[in-house]
Amino acid sequence: MSVTIQPITEAGKEFAIFSQMAGYDHEQVVFCHDHATGLKAIIAIHNTALGAAAGGTRMWAYKDEASALHDVLRLSRGMTFKNAIAGLNLGGGKAVIIGDARTQKNEALFRRFGQFVDSLAGKYITAEDVGISTKDMEYIAMHTKYVAGKPEIMGGSGDPSPVTAYGVYVGMKASAKKVYGNDSLAGKKIALQGVGHVGEYLLENILKENDPKNITISDFYEDRVKQIVAKYGVNAVDKDAIYDVPMDIYAPCALGATINDNTLSRLKCSIIAGAANNQLEDEKRHADLCKAQGILYAPDFLINGGGIINVYYEIIGNYNRERAYNHAGEIYDTLTNIYNLSEKENINTQQSAMRLALERIETIGKLKIR
Ligand code: NAD
């Protein structure tokens, strides 16, 4: 059989894999290919100073391979800081499977992927992410024990969303304490964008101390909005109107990048505290703008750490939900420290959170080497 070797280029441009790895400071990137199953996956191990690189696998129909590489590098780096600031003995990693999750899945593909994960002998621990179902996880787990966040029927810790929501809730309270002098959410006007898994649990927590008439929700799906309004009696607006409602607190629990030039000129809140990943369109610029506008921004990778905290207790064995909740509750104090550091150093809250995460990676990473 004759084989044509394609150059590693995209639209005439080199991938420059090593310079990208160097740019984000990655340890290892593994390209996984299997002709028979059609598997094309990338596993990115960003940093293992604190332990095995942990982070979910995402299946997505990337427009090209360069986009898949960019995504996995960015996401795995994010996991390093998220795991570090949560106080976990885990490094940062992530995997992407290139393909359409609606049409290109098959049993053999996931089982083959499981073999690739296993070949790393525990250096990378995978979990569910966008495009991956419980069934897919079952196939992966047939070939490797380095899988976490498994459903309860598989002996795993189950849905992490309630723990994530609890962490966001205590983070919201810590933010209220900083801004208003006490951490009660009673009477606070809250705009909650995205009432999916985490959004609904967060709403339940907030309603323990606030009246539904003070809460406004939005969601991409109209039927979901109707369901939540009927169940809890909260207000609802069209998805694009959420930024303009009168509010004290904006809680983004849908997609990323909703804190941007457009929304920051509309958001009249004093706090941003929500579950979504990568909320700031531009990490530096929009964190600075929040500060300049007098908005206290709760760094997403800290406040939404409850999910990975929950998974961590599955990884270390003898999973105990109460321990996971207690640990997620510590987000309150960590966030308070971040806010105090920002004030003292006159830096934005994203910067102070990054500083804390980096400090832990450096000091604890050194201990491990000795
Ligand atoms: P989900 O898919 O269950 O819910 C997201 C909701 O947002 C859906 O109901 C969707 O319809 C809605 N949505 C999408 N676009 C919207 C828009 N433009 N306006 C309003 N609503 C919109 O997801 P989830 O598990 O609840 O996660 C929510 C966010 O939190 C995501 O960004 C996720 O990455 C992040 N997160 C989740 C966890 C977890 O434990 N599930 C952990 C950490 C971070």
How many CB atoms lie under 10 A from the CB of residue 30?
17
CA 37 to ligand 1 center in whole angstroms: 31
Ligand 1 neighbour 227 (Cβ under 6 A): no
The per-residue pLDDT for 9 is: 55
Q: Best substitution site from 243, 304, 310, 312 to test ligand 1's pocket, by max atoms within 8 Å of Cβ?
A: 304
Instruction: Give the span between the Cα atoms of 160 and 162, in whole angstroms.
Output: 6
Distance from Cα 194 to the centre of ligand 1, integer Å: 6
150 and 168 share one domain: no
Q: Is residue 342 part of a domain?
A: yes
Output the residue whose Cα is nearest ligand 1's atom 30. Answer: 276
Name the token pair of 334.
């960590």
Distance CA 166, CA 198 (A): 9
202 lines ligand 1 (CB under 6 A): no
Q: Is residue 189 a part of any domain in this protein?
A: yes
What's the confidence (pLDDT) of residue 1?
44
Tell me, yes or no, whether 65 and 130 share the same domain.
yes
One domain for residues 146 and 166 = no
Q: Report in angstroms the alpha-carbon separations of 143 from 77, 117, 326.
A: 26, 8, 32
Task: Return per-residue pLDDT of the chain as tens, 370 residues.
Answer: 444 555 555 555 556 899 999 999 999 999 999 999 999 999 999 999 999 999 999 999 999 999 999 999 999 999 999 999 999 999 999 999 999 999 999 999 999 999 999 999 999 999 998 899 889 999 999 999 999 988 888 889 988 999 999 999 999 999 999 999 999 999 999 999 999 999 999 999 999 999 999 999 999 999 999 999 999 999 999 999 999 999 999 999 998 899 999 999 999 999 999 999 989 999 999 999 999 999 999 999 999 999 999 999 999 998 999 999 999 999 999 999 999 999 999 999 999 999 999 999 999 988 865 4
Mark whether 299 and 337 lie in a shared domain. yes
Q: What is the pLDDT of residue 265?
A: 96
CA of 1 to the centre of ligand 1 (A): 47
Residue 291 lies in a domain: yes
- Please pick, among 40, 82, 94, 173, the residue that the annotation labels catalytic: 94
Using most ligand atoms within 8 A of CB, pick from 94, 198, 244 the residue to mutate for ligand 1.
Answer: 198
* DSSP-derived pairing of the beta strands 296-297 and 235-236: unpaired
Ligand 1 atom with least separation from CA of 198:
26
127 with 177, same domain? no
166 plus 259 within the same structural domain = yes
Residues 66 and 104 reside in one and the same domain: yes
The domain in which residue 277 lies consists of: 162-305+333-357
Domain count, the chain: 2
Task: Give me the CATH number covering residue 121.
Answer: 3.40.50.10860
Of 158, 181, 216, which marks where a domain is finished? Answer: 158
Q: Is residue 94 annotated as part of the catalytic site, yes or no?
A: yes
Query: Could you count the other beta carbons within 10 Å of the beta carbon of residue 138?
Result: 18
Radius of gyration from C-alpha coordinates of the chain:
21
Ligand 1: distance of its center to the CA of 268 in Å? 22
With a 6 Å cutoff on the Cβ, whether 255 touches ligand 1 is yes
Domain boundary among 124, 158, 192: 158
| Position 83 in a domain | no
Are 176 and 271 contacting, i.e. CB atoms less than 8 angstroms apart?
yes
Q: Which residue's CA is minimally distant from atom 17 of ligand 1?
A: 220
Given 143, 158, 173, the domain boundary residue is 158
Q: Which uninterrupted H or E stretch holds 250?
A: strand 249-252
Q: Is 31 in the pocket of ligand 1 (CB under 6 A)?
A: no
Question: Of 295, 298, 230, which Cα lies nearest the Cα of 269?
Answer: 295
> Are residues 107 and 210 both part of a single domain?
no
The enclosing domain of 349 has a CATH number of 3.40.50.720
User: What pLDDT shows up at residue 86?
Assistant: 98
| Cα 277 to averaged position of ligand 1 atoms, centre (Å) | 9
pTM of the model: 0.92
- Indicate whether 118 and 205 sit together in one domain: no
Are 111 and 178 within one domain?
no
310 lines ligand 1 (CB under 6 A): no
Nearest CA to ligand 1 atom 31: 276
Give exposure, 343-365, as e/b (b: 16+ Cβ within 10 Å): eeeebbbbbbbbbbbeebbeeeb
Q: Is the CB of 175 under 6 A from ligand 1?
A: no
Q: Is residue 54 a contact partner of residue 125, using CB atoms and an 8 Å limit? A: yes
Structure tokens given for 362 = 């450096």
In terms of domains, do 153 and 290 share one? no
**Model pLDDT, residue 318:** 86
* Beta-carbon count within 10 A of 200 CB: 22
Q: Is 260 exposed, middle or buried (0-12, 13-18, 19+ CB in 10 A)?
A: middle
Are both 219 and 172 inside the same structural domain?
A: yes
